[in-house]
Amino acid sequence: MAKEKVKRKAAKADEKAARPKMIAQNKKARHDYHILDTYECGVVLMGTEVKSLRLGRASLVDGFVQIDGHEAWLHNIHIPEYVQGTWTNHSAKRKRKLLLHRAEIDKLEAKSQETGHTLVPLALYFKDSRVKVEIALAKGKKEYDKRQTLREKQDLRETNRAISAVRRRQGIA
C-alpha cells in the first residue's frame, strides 16, 4: 500500500514537471483574431532576459512576428530589465530571433502574405528549462465577430450555471 502511494506521488511529480510553466499569455490576440494555426518555437535570449522571465515578468500585448530573409523575428515583446543586472543588461523592447525550421518559416511567410493574415505570439513559457513561444497564424476579426464571440461565451456560461443549479437542487452535484 505504501509503495502505491509513492508511485502515485512520483507519477504526479512527473506530470507536473512535464507541464510547461507559463510566463505570459496574450489574451487580447485570442479576442482580436481568428486563430488559424499555431506553432511552438524557441527564442534566442540573453542571460538577463531569462533571469527576468524566471521572475515571471513579460508582456506580449503588442507583440507580432515578422519574417525577414528566411528568419523569423519577434517584435514589441516587453521583457523588463533584470533588477540585479549590470551594464550587460538587455534592452526591454528589442527584437528577438525565433527558432523555427526553414520549411516552417517558408510556409508561414507564404501564408502571412495573404490579405488580412498576420503572425501573433499567444504564450511565452518554459518547457524543459527552455523558453518557448507559441505563435499563431491569425486573421483579424471584425467588430461584429468580437461581439458574437462574447455573446456565445456568455450564453455558454449561463447554460452551465443553469445546469449546475438543477443538479444542486436534485442533489447530484
Q: What are the DSSP calls for 117-168, one per residue?
A: EEEEEEEEEEETTEEEEEEEEEEEPPHHHHHHHHHHHHHHHHHHHHHHHHHH
* DSSP code per residue over 30-80: HHHEEEEEEEEEEE---HHHHHHHHTT--B-TT-EEEEETTEEEEES-B-P
Residue 172 phi/psi, 5-degree rounding, is: -80, -50
State the pLDDT confidence band at 160, using cuts at 50, 70 and 90: very high
Query: How far is it, in rounded angstroms, from Cα 64 to Cα 70?
Result: 16
Say if residues 149 and 140 touch (Cβ distance below 8 Å): no
Average pLDDT, the chain: 84
Q: Would the pLDDT of 86 be above 80?
A: no
State the pLDDT confidence band at 14, using cuts at 50, 70 and 90: low
pTM beyond cutoff 0.85? no
What's the confidence (pLDDT) of residue 173?
57
What's the confidence (pLDDT) of residue 43?
92
Residues in the chain: 173
| CA–CA distances in Å: residue 7 to residues 11, 20, 110 | 6, 22, 49
What's the confidence (pLDDT) of residue 33?
86
* pLDDT winner (highest mean) among 6-20, 72-86, 115-129: 115-129
Q: How many CB atoms sit inside 10 A of residue 119's CB?
A: 22
Average of per-residue pLDDT across 122-149: 86
Average of per-residue pLDDT across 113-119: 86
Percentage of the chain beyond pLDDT 70 is 86
